[in-house]
Amino acid sequence: MTPDVRPLVAGNWKMNGTRQSLGEIKAMAEGIDGPLAEHVDALICPPATLLYVATALCTDSQLMVGAQDCHHEVQGAHTGDISAEMIADCFGTHVILGHSERRTDHRETDQMVQSKVEAAHAAGLTAIICIGETGDERDSYETLDVLMRQMSHSIPDGAMADNTVIAYEPLWAIGTGLTPTPVDVAVVHAFIRAELVQRFGAEGKVMRILYGGSVKPSNALSLMSVDNVDGALIGGASLKASDFLAIYSVYEGLVA
Ligand code: PGA
């Protein structure tokens, strides 16, 4: 955790979920509405097909709803894409950008991610910018160089703590059940924090840095207790309200 930073527990449903899954979002919305919501934010990012109906389900809840990608333009001839304005129009508040699956499946570069982040900011959305090294990069001790490069080129100048969240997601930990040790997470998050402070000053001190990659109820407490870990970006374990809420609840032992 970081002093004076409100943690964020965020779920990424990826390409999972149909209308039948909306009961899980409803259960999450009901489950997070307790005293903990005064201290910890919660966000769910379903596929775009469910965005509008999901935000409608959450109008009376503190659960926020976001999207998983956006185009960098406001509108136009881009078949299949959605813009940041469209997400905002559906009452989405956040958008995940530069997820490693987008970088791999759609060959998104840091520069593309940065222009999407600018589009998200212009639409009033908070961008969750994902960075992380591959297993090979980790094995050849390139982790910090890779993160440095991704941060310098994917985060636009002028990013603020209230519109930008960084998610450190080592690719080898995504969907594998593997996680770095808390000590390794501490080293990487301290590095990210130092870079953010160097570039953004006071804003960088309080910009949230999430950890993502095989976060589960069983390992959430040890990961969320690490310095400079300001929440989680959760894939698989966010599909079930019970798991998502169990991860959210580890903050009962961590916040005042
Ligand atoms: P995972 O995915 O929790 O299933 O490992 C994390 C992510 O890709 O954001």
3-state secondary structure 50-69: HHHHHHHHCCCCCCEEEECC
pLDDT one-digit tens code per residue, 112-155: 999 999 999 999 999 999 999 999 999 999 999 999 999 999 99
Catalytic residue among 85, 133, 169, 195: 169
Catalytic residue among 99, 101, 137, 189: 99
How far is ligand 1, taken at its centre, from the CA of residue 162, in Å? 23
Q: Is the pLDDT of residue 51 over 70?
A: yes
CATH code of the region 8-253: 3.20.20.70
Q: Mean pLDDT, to the nearest integer, of 218-229?
A: 98
pTM beyond 0.95: the answer is yes
Instruction: Give the pocket of ligand 1 (CB within 6 Å).
Output: 12, 169, 174-175, 212-215, 233-237
Q: Residue 52: pLDDT band by 50, 70, 90 thresholds?
A: very high
Please tell me the predicted confidence (pLDDT) of residue 256: 67
Q: Mean pLDDT, to the nearest integer, of 59-75?
A: 97
Please tell me the predicted confidence (pLDDT) of residue 69: 98
Please tell me the predicted confidence (pLDDT) of residue 107: 97
Buried/exposed 95-114: b ≥16 CB within 10 Å, e otherwise: bbbbbbbbbeeeebebebbb
Please tell me the predicted confidence (pLDDT) of residue 178: 97
Please tell me the predicted confidence (pLDDT) of residue 165: 98
- In sequence order, what DSSP letters do the residues of 18-60 get, joined into one string? -GGGHHHHHHHHHHH-SGGGGT-EEEEE--GGGHHHHHHHTTT
Please tell me the predicted confidence (pLDDT) of residue 169: 98
Q: Residue 225 and residue 4: Cα distance in Å, rounded?
A: 15
In this structure, is the dihedral angle defined by the CA atoms of residues 67, 223, 186 and 63, taken in order, positive or negative? positive
* Atom number in ligand 1 closest to CA 214: 5
Examine the residue annotation and report whether 169 is marked as an active-site residue of this protein. yes
